[in-house]
Copies of this chain bind each other. A is one copy, B any other.
């Protein structure tokens, strides 16, 4: 882990903890806060939060300025995992190496914990000190996380289960399920620094490359990776008869695309005058990750 990544992570953990403090003893609604904390504060790679801080710094802002946005995008990511794992969706019982939220708190509380995290994401994004920036950042998040973005990708995923989606449909699905939220993170980082349209557009291209590479790598790891390293079950797509890039293209072609998309991401960084060394290395490390 680079020193800069460590510095970013050292800011993100405490900021999440501050945004969702432990409930007071005897709080009658304390259990939903506990369930939200269980999934939000259990670690994870914090890829999206790191991207928000790094793009803020790349655009000349202090990384800490992007913390409200970084926390918000992690909350959206976490809620989507909680709802995804529920029995009516993917019915997964293992997440980040621990029992899924609904296995610990029950389905009803997991549903509420997801709803609570999604709502808290906007409250947190809107705590950004400049109101115009707060509105711009939160609106980008809403657009990219909603039914034309992340939720739309999950809808395509549901419809395709057991079916035979063409490569085009698979790409539309991953555009929503994976790229959209990574794009929100990168763009919100730029917005935190007060960057303009040119930077937002380039950040979107970086997110596109990194996001697609990330998803392709996920599919490769679902076949080749170990459950121990991943903290979740592997072979799940095959078990559910779900098509993914590996089943459509083969492992070698999928891994070749990981590198091609990563190259696109690196190209986008050239449009920023600042030092993009960290984001370059970050994209390369995601392309080669084992978990």
Contacts and interface: CB of A to CB of B under 8 A. Distances in A.
Interface of A: 28-29, 31-33, 36, 79-80, 83, 86, 88-89, 106-109, 111-112, 114-116, 118-120, 122-123, 126-127, 131-132, 134-136, 138-139, 141-143, 145-148, 151-156, 158-159, 169, 172-173, 176
The 4 closest A-B pairs by CB, nearest first: A29-B152, A123-B142, A88-B107, A32-B155
B120 A142 contact: yes
A147 B89 contact: no
Pick the most buried of A79, A131, A146, A154: most chain B CB atoms within 10 A of its CB: A146
A115 B150 CA distance: 10
A96 to B, nearest CB: 20
A281 B9 CA distance: 55
Contact of A28 (B86, B141, B159): B159
A99 to B, nearest CB: 17
Query: What is the count of identical protomers in the complex?
Result: 2
A123 B135 contact: no
Nearest to A83: B111
B146 A120 contact: yes
B135 A32 contact: no
A112 B146 contact: no
Nearest to A115: B151
Given A126-B139, A135-B138, A146 B116 contact: yes
